[in-house]
Chain A
Amino acid sequence: MRATIAASTEESLHQGWSLTAGDRILYTETRYLVYRQFFFNHFVHHRAQLGVYLRLNDIPVPMTYGPSADESPSMSAVSP
């Protein structure tokens, strides 16, 4: 993944990228925008969802944006 990102060029990121259904084109956008929306936004969305699943099962939640309540008690919402 890192190697693929490193090998990407400014030019290739501005080229069009398409979602298709067989011969039909459903959607076309620049590669960098597709990367941001289909991968980054999508990934962040589900990773946060997984954090809630872990919490509901009392499994320690790993750090994402800064320490979680398991890594820093001061972050805990459990208060008087």
Chain B
Amino acid sequence: MTSAPVVSGAAACTVILNRVTINQHSISGRVVSILRVVEPERLVFTFHWDNRGGLPTPETTITVIFEERDGKTTMHFHQAFFETIEDRDGHNGGWNSSFDRLVDHLDGGALSLQTNQRLKIVSTKGFYEYRAAFTRLRSGDGSDPSCTRASSGLAGVFNPHPKSMPLGELAMHIATLPDLGKRILTEDTFDVTAPNGGRPDLVFESQEKL
């Protein structure tokens, strides 16, 4: 079994990702990006397995929260989103065995971990559907008929559900609403058949383009 420290913080917070052996096949995974580090209480990062059918698995977001309680530390562990329930449940054993080894890592086994409810995983079925739709969008495949709102199929387009407004469109809608408020105060009518819905001519630029 090989292991490598991947994330470390000054507040004695180290995440070790192990090479895991499942049915005699060794598999590996890695931290893709670190989203947030709030010392000493919170760590958020994305993770994928390196190889499933020749490709890395979709990224999942892992949130670890350390909470002080009566002089001890309680660790809350959360991972989302999985595409299937089987995939989610398949992670239980792996993480639990990692947490068992965390005791050895921390203090040569002198500390003890409470083993109940260590793993808290999102189980709402809807999330799997969101995640699957989101993954299809990110892969640039705009042909999925369930993703009608995001017909551009642009990488990075986010909508939490195929029926939802994509993020950029929603942000634009909110940004232009005060203009509608102003027009209600200064004009007597609003013609819905006006070009561009009567909205001001604004252009949305991505951060990269700016």
A residues adjacent to B (C-beta < 8 A): 1, 4-5, 8, 12, 15-22, 26, 31, 34-35, 38-40, 42-43, 46-47, 49-50, 52-53, 56-58, 73, 78-80
Contacts beyond the supplied A50-B167, A52-B160: 18 A-B pairs with Cβ under 8 Å: A1-B178, A4-B182, A8-B185, A17-B190, A20-B191, A22-B191, A35-B181, A38-B181, A39-B177, A39-B184, A43-B177, A46-B177, A50-B171, A50-B174, A53-B170, A58-B36, A58-B63, A79-B76
**Is A4's CB under 8 angstroms from B185's CB?**
yes
What are the residues of chain A within 8 A of B191 when measuring CB–CB?
20-22
Contact with A along B26-66 (1 / 0, CB 8 A): 00000000011000010010000000000000000101010
- Which residues 160-182 of B have a CB within 8 angstroms of A? 160, 165, 167, 170-171, 173-174, 177-178, 180-182
Docked Cα-Cα span, A19 to B76, in Å, equals: 52
Interface of A is mostly: helix
Choose from B61, B165, B170 the contact partner of A58 (Cβ within 8 Å). Answer: B61
B residues adjacent to A (C-beta < 8 A): 35-36, 41, 44, 61, 63, 65, 67, 74, 76, 78, 117, 130, 158, 160, 165, 167, 170-171, 173-174, 177-178, 180-182, 184-186, 188-193
Q: Shortest Cβ distance from A23 into chain B, in angstroms? A: 10
Interface of B is mostly: mixed
